[in-house]
C-alpha cells in the first residue's frame, strides 16, 4: 500500500481515519497531534518548567522525546523524573533506559526512590504486608500507586516544576473512563480531564499530552525512530479487570474503528459537568498533618500506608527504616 500523502510505501494504516502513512508522514501525524494537544489545551506556556515522569516504558520515553523536540521551537524548561519503587529485577534496567534517553536528549534527570523518601522499597513492603498472590487483603499495586503519586508530586515540587507531564495515552485514558463508569466511581472522572486544573497549591498540576495518541502509534513511533524503551512488565501487576476492559475496547475498535476516539470525546464532554459537581475546591482540602500534601482527611493515604507498614514491620521485628 502507498502512503495517502505521498508515493512512498506505507508503514501504517490508521483504520479510524482510513489513511495510510509512510514513515515520514507517520512521524508528522504523531508529532503534529502532540503539538496540537499541547496548544489547544494550553498544557505548556512559555517559560514554564515542566517535569516529565519517565519510567523507561514506551509512553513516558516517547513523551520525553516529543517534549525535547518541542523545546527546539518553543521556550520552556524540561526536567525528567524517575521513581524507583525498588522492585528487584524489573526497575534497575528500566531506570537505565530512562537515564540513557535523558542523556541522549540532554535532559536533566533525577531519580527519587521509595527507599529514600518513603522508607521501604516495594519489595520490602510486600515482604511485610503480603500480597494478593498470598491471599492477603491489600496488593502491592495499592501501595505502589498511592506512593508513586505522592512521590511524583513531591519530586515535581522538589525540582520546582510548574507542571508534571505524564505518559498516559489514548488507550489508558479510555480504559480509565470505562473502568470508573463500570465501578460507579463517577467522582474520580472529575479529576484529570483534557486540560489541567489548579486543584491545590501543594499539588503540581498534571498534564497528559499523549492522551489523544493510540498506544499502537506510540510503539510504532519508538520502533521507527530507534528509540530505546523498556517493554518488560511489572512482576506485581495483576490488574485483571483493566485487562478485560482493554481487550473489550480493542475488540470494539476492531469492529468499529474510531470507538476509542468516540469514547474520549464522550469523556471530554462529560468532564466539565462531572468536575463542577464533584471536584473538591482548594478550600475544601486539608494539608496532611505529617507530610503537608493535600488530602480530604487529616492524614493522607501515602502517610497512612507508611505508618501501617512501619507498624507491622515493628511487630515482625523487622527494621527497614533508619530513624
Query: Could you give the C-alpha distances from 319 to 14, 60, 305, 310, in angstroms and in order?
Result: 54, 34, 16, 8
Q: Let me know how many helices (H) and strands (E) the chain has, helices first.
A: 11, 9
Spatial separation of the C-alpha atoms in residues 182 and 296, rounded to whole Å: 24
Q: Is residue 151 a contact point for Zn ion (CB under 5 A)?
A: no
Q: Which residues are annotated as a binding site for ATP?
A: 53-55, 59, 83, 167, 172
Query: Could you give the C-alpha distances from 10 to 20, 29, 227, in angstroms and in order?
Result: 6, 13, 20
Q: Which residues are annotated as a binding site for Zn(2+)?
A: 3, 6, 22, 25, 288, 291, 300, 303
Quick count: other Cβ atoms within 10 Å of Cβ 224? Answer: 15
Q: Is residue 30 a contact point for Zn ion (CB under 5 A)?
A: no
To Zn ion, the closest distance from the beta carbon of 225 in angstroms equals 15
Q: Is residue 303 a contact point for Zn ion (CB under 5 A)?
A: yes
- Three-class SS string for 5-49? CCCCECCEEECCCCEEECHHHHHHHHHHHHHHHHHHCCCCCCCCE
Q: Is residue 313 a contact point for Zn ion (CB under 5 A)?
A: no
Q: Is residue 118 a contact point for Zn ion (CB under 5 A)?
A: no
From 95, 140, 210, 300, residue interacting with Zn ion (rule: CB under 5 A): 300
From 11, 178, 291, 318, residue interacting with Zn ion (rule: CB under 5 A): 291
Q: Is residue 170 a contact point for Zn ion (CB under 5 A)?
A: no
If the CB atoms of residues 234 and 300 are measured against Zn ion, the closer one turns out to be 300
If the CB atoms of residues 5 and 99 are measured against Zn ion, the closer one turns out to be 5
Q: Which residues bind Zn ion (CB under 5 A)?
A: 3, 5-6, 8, 22, 25, 288, 290-291, 300, 303
Amino acid at each position: 500500500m502507498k502512503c495517502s500523502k505521498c508515493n512512498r510505501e506505507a508503514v501504517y494504516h490508521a483504520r479510524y481515519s482510513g489513511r495510510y502513512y509512510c514513515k515520514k508522514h507517520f512521524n508528522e501525524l504523531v508529532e503534529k497531534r502532540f503539538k496540537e494537544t499541547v496548544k489547544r489545551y494550553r498544557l505548556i506556556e512559555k517559560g514554564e518548567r515542566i517535569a516529565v515522569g519517565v519510567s523507561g516504558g514506551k509512553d513516558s520515553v516517547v513523551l520525553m522525546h516529543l517534549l525535547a523536540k518541542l523545546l527546539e521551537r518553543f521556550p520552556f524548561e524540561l526536567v525528567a523524573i524517575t521513581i524507583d519503587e525498588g522492585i528487584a529485577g524489573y526497575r534497575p534496567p528500566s531506570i537505565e533506559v530512562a537515564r540513557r534517553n535523558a542523556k541522549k536528549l540532554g535532559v536533566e534527570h533525577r531519580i527519587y526512590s521509595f527507599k529514600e523518601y518513603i522508607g521501604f522499597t516495594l519489595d520490602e513492603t510486600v515482604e511485610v504486608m503480603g500480597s494478593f498472590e498470598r491471599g492477603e487483603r491489600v496488593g502491592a499495586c495499592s501501595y505502589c500507586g498511592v506512593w508513586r503519586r505522592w512521590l511524583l508530586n513531591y519530586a515535581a515540587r522538589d525540582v520546582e516544576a510548574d507542571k508534571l507531564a505524564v505518559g498516559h495515552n489514548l488507550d489508558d485514558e479510555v480504559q480509565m473512563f470505562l473502568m470508573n463508569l463500570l465501578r460507579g466511581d463517577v467522582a474520580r472522572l472529575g479529576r484529570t480531564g483534557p486540560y489541567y486544573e489548579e486543584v491545590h497549591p501543594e499539588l503540581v498540576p498534571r498534564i497528559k499530552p499523549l492522551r489523544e495518541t493510540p498506544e499502537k502509534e506510540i510503539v510504532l513511533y519508538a520502533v521507527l525512530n530507534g528509540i530505546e524503551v523498556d517493554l518488560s512488565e511489572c512482576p506485581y501487576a495483576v490488574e485483571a479487570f483493566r485487562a478485560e476492559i482493554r481487550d473489550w475496547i480493542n475488540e470494539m475498535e476492531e469492529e468499529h474503528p474510531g470507538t476509542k476516539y468516540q469514547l474520549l470525546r464522550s469523556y471530554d464532554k462529560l468532564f466539565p459537568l462531572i468536575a463542577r459537581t464533584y471536584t473538591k475546591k482548594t478550600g475544601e482540602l486539608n494539608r496532611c498533618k505529617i507530610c503537608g500534601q493535600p488530602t480530604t482527611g487529616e492524614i493522607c493515604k501515602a502517610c497512612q500506608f507508611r505508618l501501617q507498614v512501619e507498624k507491622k514491620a515493628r511487630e515482625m521485628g523487622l527494621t527497614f527504616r533508619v530513624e
